Amino acid sequence: MSYKISYILPIYKVEKQLSRCIDSVVNQDYNNIEIILVDDGSPDSCPKICDDYAQKDRRIKVVHKQNEGLGMARNSGIEVACGDFVIFVDSDDFIEPDMGSKLLKALVDSKSQVAYCNYRRVDTIHGVNNDVIQSVPKYFYENEEVQEVLLGMFSNYNLNRLDGSINMSVWHSMYDLHFIKDHHILFKTEREYISEDLMFHIDFLTEANRVVFIDDVLYNYDFNPDSLSAKFRPFIFDSSKKIYLYANKKFLSKSFKNFHSFTDRYLLVITLYIIKNYKQFFTSKDYKNFIKKILCDEVWSNDVEYSSYANLSFKNKLFVKSIRYNSFFMLKVLSYICKMKNKIKGK
């Protein structure tokens, strides 16, 4: 049987990188594919680029829609996709020629619902490429073991290391499209949840019973470290809390074991990130009020179990203790120390 792979590319304001991305999909060594280009109301030349490609290759479908964000664009692609399996490719990235064929083989041979691979960080600004090798303890998970995959995504969320876990992004993966549609799994909007990928995996992996991972580096993630520090999302904590509460409810309903230490760690890491990185966006008084509002949130007194920070570094343990005891002064001192250490390292 010749399986069909659907590639879904959500597209918005990427006219400089778009051809590179589409070409990498068009030139796959596995030919039974469809390529769905979802123009998410892009105001540049992307819509025309999409239409031009569709005229040259009958495997390409184009969906033009009003801008609603990445998750909703992917959903539009799922709606019209007619393949057996699906790969989501972000349109500023590109893939290796054998990504589809290798993930398909792994998926079919293991009878899994999803196959993951390694990926490469491509820093086009500074000309640096780094392979990201995810040191997972095993290559095949089934039944209750699938819980380990999902909880691992929470454990290392937003950290530079990926010890023993698979990255929570959907773009280094191939999914069973029939499974997605049979279970009515769709992406949530990032305008409500800060990570539509993590939310997708909560819904997908709580239903899946087989997961496979392969070592091959098959996806190229266009990574610009300079853009990360400048991004301000005022509702980051509220959005992250929604994910935290949603996950706890979902995991409880699916009888997950010992999940609180993982979801608690996720919320703690997000809060530490805000404390360390958001001061630049506020006056001193407004920053204090912003952080105090987070520290006074009922989730800290009613939900979080502080045993979840046991494996954090000593520095981060001090941050967490400051959160626990609602000590803005200690947070300010620790943030200052971290800032001075980073300045010294940068010299």
**What are the pLDDT digits (tens) for 58-86?**
999 999 999 999 999 999 999 999 999 99
Tokens of residue 304, six digits? 């979080």
CA distance 346 to 332: 21
With bands split at pLDDT 50, 70 and 90, how would you rate the model's confidence at 347? very low
* Selection from 127, 125, 145 nearest residue 136 by Cα: 145
Provide the CATH topology of domain 5-228: Spore Coat Polysaccharide Biosynthesis Protein SpsA; Chain A (3.90.550)
- The pLDDT, as a whole number, for residue 73 is 98
- The pLDDT, as a whole number, for residue 270 is 86
**What are the pLDDT digits (tens) for 214-235?**
999 999 999 866 554 447 788 8
Distances, alpha carbon 108 to alpha carbons 103, 206, 258, in Å? 9, 20, 31
Evaluate the CA torsion angle 339, 156, 213, 250 in order and state its sign: negative
**What are the pLDDT digits (tens) for 198-212?**
999 999 999 999 999
- The pLDDT, as a whole number, for residue 305 is 65
**What are the pLDDT digits (tens) for 18-57?**
999 999 999 999 999 999 999 999 999 999 999 999 999 9
Task: Tell me the whole-structure pTM to 2 decimals.
Answer: 0.90
**What are the pLDDT digits (tens) for 250-274?**
999 999 988 988 888 888 888 888 8
- The pLDDT, as a whole number, for residue 262 is 87
With bands split at pLDDT 50, 70 and 90, how would you rate the model's confidence at 319? confident
Q: What is the mean pLDDT of residues 165-190?
A: 96
CA distance 195 to 154: 11
CA distance 279 to 322: 17
* pLDDT of 303 above 80: no
- The pLDDT, as a whole number, for residue 343 is 67
Average pLDDT over the chain reads 88
Tokens of residue 189, six digits? 């909007």
Cα within 13 Å of Cα(272), Cβ side: 23
Cα within 13 Å of Cα(22), Cβ side: 27
Domain boundaries, the chain: 5-228, 236-346
Q: How many helices (H) and strands (E) does the chain have?
A: 14, 10
